[in-house]
Amino acid sequence: MPEIQQVAPHAVYVPRRGEVNAWDNALFVKTVRETGKKTLIIAGVWTNVCVMFPALDAKAEGYNVYVVIDASGDPSELASRTTLARFTQAGVIPTSTNAVTCELHRTWNRPDAAQLAELYCMASPSYQAVMESFNKAQEVEDAKQTNNGPKTTRSTTPALAAQSR
């Protein structure tokens, strides 16, 4: 996927030779182990196959495994529900794209905040309304401060301000 290579040129592509379960590919498992990481975040084409099989195997080998439920799909709602139950019974942690993004980003006080805001809008187009509302509230507060004396210190969200201008 060229998009992954663009934003993560360090990412390693591991070809598979037909294995349904990526964890059955020795090079895949070796590559995961060589990262030295003990927490995996997994998504795939089908949650009940592409995600479930390696997630359960990695969990059995002692990894902390998060599965991004809304970044994968299933052929039916029943398949998704059954898979979710199996994950939770095995100790695999279901999560969402938004939760992963927020957990990794942690704060708006960072230089790449505007790019993160773009990512939020891609994942959730209605997030643009949140940014517009925030910016309008900041404009109103700034106008009050200008008309009523010196500004007070307040929390800002630079990404939201930068994104909507």
Residues 31-80: tens digit of each pLDDT: 999 999 999 999 999 999 999 999 999 999 999 999 999 999 999 999 99
* 103: helix, strand or coil: helix
pLDDT at 47: 95
The whole model's pTM is what? 0.74
Among the listed residues 32, 42, 43, 50, the single catalytic one is: 50
Residues 141-156: tens digit of each pLDDT: 888 888 875 555 554 5
Q: Identify whether 121 is a catalytic site residue.
A: no
Q: Taking each helix axis from N to C terminus, what angle separates 97-105 and 113-123, rounded to the nearest 10 degrees?
A: 170
pLDDT at 109: 86
Distance CA 130, CA 136 (A): 10
The encoded tokens of residue 151 equal 């500004």
